[in-house]
Homo-oligomer: A and B are copies of this chain.
Amino acid sequence: MKIAIAQLNFFVGDFDGNLAKMLKAVEEAKSQGADLVAFPELATCGYPPRDFLEFDDFIRRAERSVQLLAEAAQGIAIAVGSPSRNPVIEGKDLFNSAYFLEDGKIKHVQHKALLPTYDVFDEYRYFEPAKEFKVVEFKGQKIALSICEDLWNLGNENPLYTVVPMDEMMPQKPDFILNLSASPFTYKHAKERIRVLKANVQRYKLPMIYCNQIGSQTEIIFDGGSLVVSPDGTIFEEMPYWQEMVKTFDLDTVVKGGQNVEQVKEKIPLIHDALVLGIRDYFGKLGFKQAILGLSGGIDSAVVAVLAARALGEDNVRGLLMPSQFSSDHSVNDARELAINLGMQYDIVPIEPVFNSYMTALEPHFWGHSFNIAEENIQARIRGMLVMAISNKFGNIVLNTTNKSEMAVGYGTLYGDMCGGLSVLADVYKTEVFELARYMNKDGIVIPENTITKPPSAELRPNQKDSDSLPEYDILDAILYQYIEKRQGPTEIIAMGFDEKTVRRALRLVNINEFKRHQAAPVLRVSPKAFGVGRRIPIVGKYLS
């Protein structure tokens, strides 16, 4: 049997577009001689649809797509993910389902049993878990059809569920496993995915066809990397990351094994490529072409400019240099050099006259009070406003350049440098931003060396440096990683050997700045724990604060 994996990029809510893309892939799979083509989880409506699932209208449209796909299942069978209705009044109203379509009809529907409800996932918000498990018979083979998380309760120290769906299917003696996924990227995920899939194949001694989606959905990025695993547990093929592709595999060949195609899995290149895709899809799906950002001469804005130029083309990225009286000469020079290296448009708008107009307006109210955070924030906010003004006039989207270390400790100004439609680096620690910059320069200088080597500074008061108010970034990032990614508390982190005062201060800063993150732009997620939808912390709380 020949099975095509359709690793495609869907658009949440775009039923017509998603359907057209799938119908084209069906034709492509047929031309490759496939007997069966597999699409990802919830492919009809796009994943994650979130609360759109609460609209009956939305479900009707998904049902219509399934019906039209079924009609196209002639001479080829189709496995596709789509929501379906729960006919039982008790429980949630929907299932997250895998449809098996053959000869113009819906032949079988298998619902998802394990509903991820953690981090960025909210599936139990919408779906009732499957309680029945039944293989599909097709061309003399029995297929164990499952959806994404259904395979993920194996091979973990701390299984999240009390059921293992494949264990329930095994008495029916399936011949192979077919899994439809929408499994998001993190820089660690490809390795984990392979570990979990191998754990399944080793337990059940069955070949596995695993179809994942690619593409970015607001903040959540999908890498693709669909997998074909031989029954001996070796990877037969890992399809490319970041690309749409329809590729057909002969099950007999897969069973024999012996092929081993794997993608390279290096953290910094993966993050780089994920962010490029994240920017490209955010703009493309929203129907925008042009980005704008403030160029400070610092490393964060430089790295974002390079990513944007690679995602959108350098002609579609515009930089604004907005020096103040506190800006050093090198700031403008470094920013200009970057723009020239990239070949992108840049404009210089000094902010001092606007700053002075605010000072005049506020003089009666600020009289007798010394320069403090208020004046620092005014500078950052003028810059934010100027960038927003040009974006409003010319239809660009503003890219936010905050990194994860700043975002964590609140080292940024709301409505100032926190402006933007998309936060590109807010899941990348400062130390990783340096690594990204070095990686970008590997084939020749794009980011000026001085931008990389000079001490980071917000330049909002004379001779300011980040290290005046924050620990050195290598220490800070290590503490933040333990707190954010690893959910370690102060006791555990101090026991690792970090300075107690520094740890308590860092954790306190993270917690008291939740109010800022609440109003941040969506953050492209590349780590196992990003700020945003996957990390839900009370703003009003008194914990470690």
Which chain B positions have C-beta within 8 A of A381?
385, 388, 415
Q: 4 shortest A-B CB distances, which residue pairs?
A: A57-B489, A13-B543, A357-B357, A374-B392
Given A54-B487, A90-B162, answer yes or no on A389-B374 (Cβ-Cβ < 8 Å). yes
A122, B542: Cβ atoms closer than 8 Å? no
A393 at the interface (CB under 8 A from B): yes
> Assuming A161-B90, A360-B353, is B540 touching A281 (CB within 8 A)?
yes
With A162-B90, A369-B393, A373-B392: A540-B124 Cβ-Cβ less than 8 Å: no
- Give Cα distance in the complex from A540 to B52, angstroms: 12
A366 contacts chain B at the CB level, 8 A cutoff? yes
Task: Please state if A374 and B393 are interface contacts (CB–CB under 8 Å).
Answer: yes
User: Besides A12-B538, A12-B541, A52-B543, 11 other CB < 8 A contacts?
Assistant: A12-B540, A55-B488, A90-B162, A117-B122, A282-B540, A285-B540, A358-B385, A365-B393, A382-B385, A385-B415, A415-B419
The yes or no answer to A421 lying at the interface (CB within 8 A) is yes
With A51-B537, A52-B543, A357-B354 known as contacts, the answer to whether A57 contacts B377 (CB < 8 A) is no
When the two chains form the complex, which single residue of B49, B93, B415 contacts A415, counting CB atoms closer than 8 Å? Answer: B415
Count the copies.
2
* Chain B residues, CB < 8 A from A539: 218, 522
Which A residues, 97 to 129, have Cβ-Cβ distances below 8 Å to chain B?
Answer: 117-118, 122, 124-125
**Nearest-CB distance from A213 to chain B (Å)?**
14
With A365-B347, A521-B519, A536-B50 given, is the CB distance from A93 to B125 under 8 Å? no
CB of A515 within 8 A of chain B? yes
Q: Are the CB atoms of A56 and B489 closer together than 8 Å?
A: yes
Which residue of B158, B358, B390 contacts A354 across the interface (Cβ within 8 Å)?
B358
How long is the Cα–Cα vector from A361 to B356 in the complex, in angstroms? Answer: 12
Q: Which of A359-415 contact B (CB under 8 A)?
A: 360-362, 364-366, 369, 372-374, 377-378, 381-382, 384-386, 388-390, 392-393, 414-415
Is B542 a contact partner of A285 (Cβ separation < 8 A)? yes
Contact A492 B161 (CB under 8 A): no
In the complex, which range does the number of interface residues on chain A fall in? 35 or more
Question: Smallest CB-CB separation from A534: which chain B residue?
Answer: B51
Question: Does A17 have its Cβ within 8 Å of any Cβ on chain B?
Answer: yes
Q: Please, how many angstroms separate the alpha-carbon atoms of A536 and B49 in the complex?
A: 9
A544 to B164: give the CA distance in the assembly, Å: 38
A195 at the interface (CB under 8 A from B): no
When chains A and B are docked, how far (Å) is the Cα of A216 from the Cα of B161? 33
CB pair A93–B158 under 8 Å, yes or no, is yes
Is A230 at the interface (CB under 8 A from chain B)? no
* A415-B388 in contact (CB<8A): yes
The answer for the CA separation of A362 and B357 in the assembled complex, in Å, is 14
B contact residues around A161 at 8 Å (CB): 90-91
Taking a contact as CB atoms closer than 8 A, the residue among B125, B362, B373, B492 that contacts A117 in the complex is B125
- CB-nearest residue of chain B relative to A373? B392
